[in-house]
Every structure is written in structure tokens, then in C-alpha cells.
Amino acid sequence: MKERVKEILDKVRPSLQADGGDVELIDVTEDGIVKVQLKGACAGCPMSQMTLKMGIEKNLKEAIPEVKEVQSV
């Protein structure tokens, strides 16, 4: 599942990079929790939680039903 998560993150990454940010995959747990770290402009952005839930998590859940949640660490 980790490889599939990486593929989806690679599709989301250009929109984050366009705003000066990025995302790094930290871990994917057996129970479907994806742990990521927002970087660059995303790290301190007040909209980062919306980006995390409505952007990254939404895309991952649509493509990989086993994903239960995305957490920023």
C-alpha cells in the first residue's frame, strides 16, 4: 500500500509545490493511517489542515479505500 500512497502523493505534489510547499511520506500503518509531513510554505500555513484533509486525504481515500486517515506529524 505504501507504493500506491507514494504514487498519489506524487500526483498531489505539483499543486503544493506551486504554492511553495511540499509533502513527505513518513509512514503507512497496517490499519490505514498515512503519516505525512508538510514542508516549505505548507508547514506554517493556516490552511494546512484543510490542505491535509480536503486535498491529500480526499485524493488518497478515493484512490485507495484502505486509507482511513491522513495525519500530519
Backbone angles phi, psi at 18, to 5 degrees: -65, -25
| CATH number of 9's domain | 3.30.300.130
Instruction: Domain of residue 52: give its range.
Output: 2-72
Give the mean pLDDT of the chain: 94
CA geometry: angle 37, 60, 29, nearest 5 deg: 60
Alpha helices in 1-73 (DSSP H): 2-18, 48-50, 58-63
pLDDT at res. 54: 92
Total structural domains in the chain?
A: 1
pLDDT at res. 45: 86
Q: What is the mean pLDDT of residues 18-38?
A: 95
Residue 34 CB contacts under 8 Å (≥ 6 apart), including other chains: 5, 25, 27, 28, 57, 60, 67, 69, 70, 71
